Amino acid sequence: MNFSLEDSQNAAPGLPTMAEQNKLNVATRKADTQSVTKRLQSELMALMMSPTPGISAFPDAAGNMLHWTATIVGPKDTPYADLNLKLSFEFPGNYPYSPPVVLFKTPIYHPNIDFSGRICLDILKDKWSAVYNVQTVLLSLQSLLGEPNKYGHFRSCRNEQMLIFNCSASPLNNEAAQLHQKDAEEYQRKVLARHQEIDD
């Protein structure tokens, strides 16, 4: 059976056939990838030309611009001071209109980061904006290390009369949240016990 003939016979007048639509989709994805790559090249150049102390990020060794490895040095006067923390960035095809998927690769003990490295940070979720970039994310994460999101705050749903917890009200690591508030010395001990340097 000739699918091209069938597609053209079943297509509505003025609309592309399925084969034509597939070609358009491939061309659009290619244009999107080129646009994302151009944006990421610009961000990489900015990071290299104006480095910010304590953060760095580069595409993976394979040269795929959609996969980056980043490093954050733990900020002074925090339990993470001078610890090197590795992260991975996976950029979607519609970046910067959708946030990257960011994971801690270095094991870390933190109220807003689970043991799989997933991060609860509003700018990586519903507060993402196309004006943010890799540097913005890394600086926000560095700040989060020193000041975890506060717990017990509520925000209201826009279209409902009920209250819901936001991600800071329900930490990913409950034990870390409780220790952070009640026992700084034990929290520090757990941070150092969990931290492990990993190779690039």
Written as tens digits, the pLDDT of the chain (200 aa) is 454 444 444 455 556 566 655 554 444 455 568 999 999 999 999 999 999 999 999 999 888 899 999 999 999 999 999 999 999 999 999 999 999 999 999 999 999 999 999 999 999 999 999 999 999 999 999 999 999 986 543 333 333 333 333 454 568 899 999 999 999 999 999 999 999 766 54
pLDDT computed for residue 106 by the predictor: 96
pLDDT computed for residue 123 by the predictor: 93
The rounded distance, in Å, linking the Cα atoms of 196 and 104 is: 12
pLDDT computed for residue 22 by the predictor: 55
Dump strand ranges (E) for 91-200: 101-104, 154-156, 163-165
> Under 8 Å CB-to-CB from 69, ≥6 apart: which residues?
57, 58, 60, 86, 87, 88, 89, 105, 200
98 closest CA partner among 55, 54, 66 = 66
The rounded distance, in Å, linking the Cα atoms of 8 and 144 is: 56
Contact 80, 74 (CB under 8 A): yes
| CA 193 to each of CA 48, 54, 68, 112, 134: distance values in angstroms, whole numbers, following the listed order | 33, 22, 27, 17, 28
Q: Which residues pair with 55 in a beta bridge?
A: 72
For the annotated catalytic residues, the residue numbers are 120
Number of residues assigned to the chain: 200
pLDDT computed for residue 149 by the predictor: 82
pLDDT computed for residue 142 by the predictor: 96
pLDDT computed for residue 199 by the predictor: 53
In this structure, which topology does domain 50-149+168-199 adopt according to CATH? Ubiquitin Conjugating Enzyme (3.10.110)
Task: Indicate the domain borders of the chain.
Answer: 50-149+168-199
- Tell whether pTM > 0.85: no
